[in-house]
C-alpha cells in the first residue's frame, strides 16, 4: 500500500478544532499588538540565504532548509526565524529615523525539532521595537509579552531574566576562540562545574572565580545583590545588574501575579543578544513558551545598526497549554431550494451568525459547532428557535 499520506517526522496537519483555536489566538494577539501601536508585516517564506543568516548568531545555519533558485542560481533558504527579515524591512524598506514597532505571525521551518514533542514548522508570532535604546522599550516588550500570554489564557507564568552583558564584562580582556566561547556558554547554561573548571583553568583568577560563581547565581531578586558582591566591579556588569533590578521593580508592580526569577548563567543566544534577555515558562511545561530580549546588532548586517528589542513564541505550542475555548454557538438550518429559506440564511450570516446548513443525509455532522438554535418554518416565516 502506498504511504503517500504519511508526513515527515515532526511535521503534522492541523485539524479543524485545533486550527480554529490557533486562528482565533492569532487574531487576538495581532489585535493586541496593534493596540500597542505595532504595525503588521508579512515577510516572504524564503529569500537569499545570506540575508536569512545575517545577525542571527552561531548555530542558525543548521536550522535552515536550503535550496537553489531556478531563476538566478543563488542559494535560497526557508526562514527558521522571522527576526532577521523584520530587521531587513526596518533597515531598508521602512528606513525610519524614529521608533518603529512591528509585529508578524507566520510559519517558519526547522531542519531539526527543538524538542521531542515540538514541530519543525512552528507558527511564529513576534513583536519587535526598533529605534530606542532605553529600558522603556525593554519594559514595553516585557509587558506586551506577558499580555500575550494572559490573552491566551495562560496562568502560573514564571519570567526568567538574565543579561548577556554579564558575561561580556566578566570576559573583558580575555580572548577566547569561538569554539571555546560556545563550550563555555553551554557549560554555564548546563551548570556543569567540571567542564567549567577545565575551561577556566588557565584564565586570570578574577575571571575564573566569576565564571565559577555564575552557575550558583539563580533565584529571586536577591540574586542581583549577591551578584554585585561576587562578580567583578566592571561597568558592563554594574549596568546589567542595575537594569535588571529596574525592570524587575516595574514588572513586579504591574504584574504581581507573575513570578520573577533570575538565572545569570543561562546565556542561551549569547551570540545574538546584546543586553537583557528573558524567557517565560508555564506550569507543567519544561521548555520556555516565549523568548526575547535586546539584540542591537541584528540590523548591522544590513548596513543600519539600530537599537532593537523583541520576543517571539510558537502559537502551535501555546494553544496546547491553555484551556480549550468553547465551541462557537451556531444556528442549524435545513437545506432547501426555497428562496425564502435561502434569504433567511443569508440574513443571519450578514448579522454575524454562524449558520450550518445540514445537507440531506448528514444531520449528525456538525461536530465543530455548538448548534444551540435551529431555523424552522412557522406558517409563512422562517424563525430561529432555541434547541
Q: Are 279 and 290 in contact (CB under 8 A)?
A: yes
Distances (CA, A) of 325 to 13, 148, 149, 262: 20, 16, 15, 33
CA distance 61 to 78: 11
Question: At 240, is the pLDDT very low, low, confident or very high (cuts 50, 70, 90)?
Answer: very high
Among 196-200, 283-287, 312-316, 353-357, the range scoring the smallest mean pLDDT is 283-287
Question: At 358, is the pLDDT very low, low, confident or very high (cuts 50, 70, 90)?
Answer: confident
CA distance 374 to 384: 6
Decide if pLDDT at 116 tops 90: no
Mean pLDDT of 285-302: 88
DSSP per position, 149-192: HHHHT--SEEEEEEEHHHHHHHTTT----HHHHHHHHHHHHHT-
pTM, to two decimals? 0.89
Nearest alpha carbon to residue 205 among 178, 187, 232, 181: 232
> Angle at Cα 295 formed by Cα 110 and Cα 260, nearest 5°?
90
Amino acid at each position: 500500500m502506498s504511504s503517500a499520506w504519511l508526513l515527515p517526522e515532526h511535521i503534522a496537519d492541523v485539524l479543524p478544532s485545533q486550527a480554529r483555536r490557533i486562528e482565533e489566538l492569532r487574531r487576538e494577539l495581532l489585535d493586541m499588538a496593534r493596540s500597542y501601536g505595532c504595525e503588521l508585516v508579512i515577510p516572504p517564506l524564503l529569500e537569499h540565504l545570506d540575508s536569512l543568516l545575517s545577525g542571527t548568531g552561531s548555530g542558525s545555519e543548521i536550522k535552515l532548509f536550503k535550496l537553489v533558485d531556478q531563476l538566478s542560481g543563488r542559494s535560497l533558504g526557508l526562514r527558521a526565524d522571522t527576526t532577521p527579515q523584520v530587521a531587513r524591512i526596518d533597515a531598508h524598506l521602512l528606513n525610519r529615523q524614529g521608533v518603529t514597532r512591528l509585529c508578524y505571525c507566520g510559519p517558519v521551518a526547522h531542519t531539526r525539532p527543538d524538542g521531542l514533542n515540538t514541530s519543525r514548522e512552528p507558527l511564529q508570532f513576534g513583536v519587535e521595537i526598533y529605534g530606542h535604546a532605553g529600558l522603556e522599550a525593554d519594559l514595553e516588550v516585557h509587558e506586551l509579552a506577558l499580555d500575550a500570554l494572559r490573552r491566551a489564557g495562560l496562568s502560573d507564568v514564571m519570567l526568567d531574566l538574565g543579561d548577556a552583558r554579564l558575561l561580556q564584562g566578566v570576559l573583558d580582556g580575555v580572548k577566547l576562540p569561538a569554539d571555546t566561547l560556545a563550550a563555555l556558554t553551554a557549560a554555564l547554561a548546563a551548570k556543569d562545574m567540571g567542564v567549567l573548571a577545565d575551561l577556566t583553568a588557565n584564565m586570570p583568577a578574577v575571571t575564573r572565580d566569576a565564571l565559577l560563581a555564575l552557575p550558583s547565581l539563580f533565584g529571586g531578586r536577591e540574586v542581583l545583590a549577591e551578584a554585585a558582591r561576587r562578580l567583578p566591579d566592571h561597568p558592563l556588569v554594574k549596568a546589567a545588574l542595575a537594569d535588571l533590578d529596574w525592570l524587575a521593580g516595574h514588572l513586579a508592580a504591574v504584574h504581581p501575579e507573575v513570578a520573577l526569577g533570575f538565572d545569570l548563567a543561562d546565556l542561551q543566544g549569547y551570540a545574538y543578544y546584546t543586553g537583557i534577555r528573558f524567557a517565560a515558562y508555564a506550569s507543567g511545561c519544561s521548555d520556555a513558551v516565549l523568548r526575547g530580549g535586546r539584540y542591537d546588532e541584528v540590523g548591522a548586517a544590513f548596513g543600519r545598526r539600530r537599537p532593537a528589542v523583541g520576543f517571539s513564541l510558537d502559537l502551535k505550542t501555546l494553544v496546547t497549554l491553555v484551556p480549550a475555548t468553547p465551541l462557537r454557538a451556531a444556528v442549524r438550518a435545513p437545506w432547501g431550494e426555497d428562496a425564502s429559506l435561502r434569504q433567511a440564511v443569508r440574513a443571519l450570516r450578514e448579522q454575524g451568525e454562524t449558520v450550518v446548513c445540514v445537507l440531506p443525509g448528514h444531520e449528525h455532522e456538525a461536530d465543530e459547532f455548538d448548534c444551540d438554535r435551529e431555523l424552522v418554518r412557522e406558517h409563512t416565516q422562517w424563525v430561529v428557535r432555541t434547541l
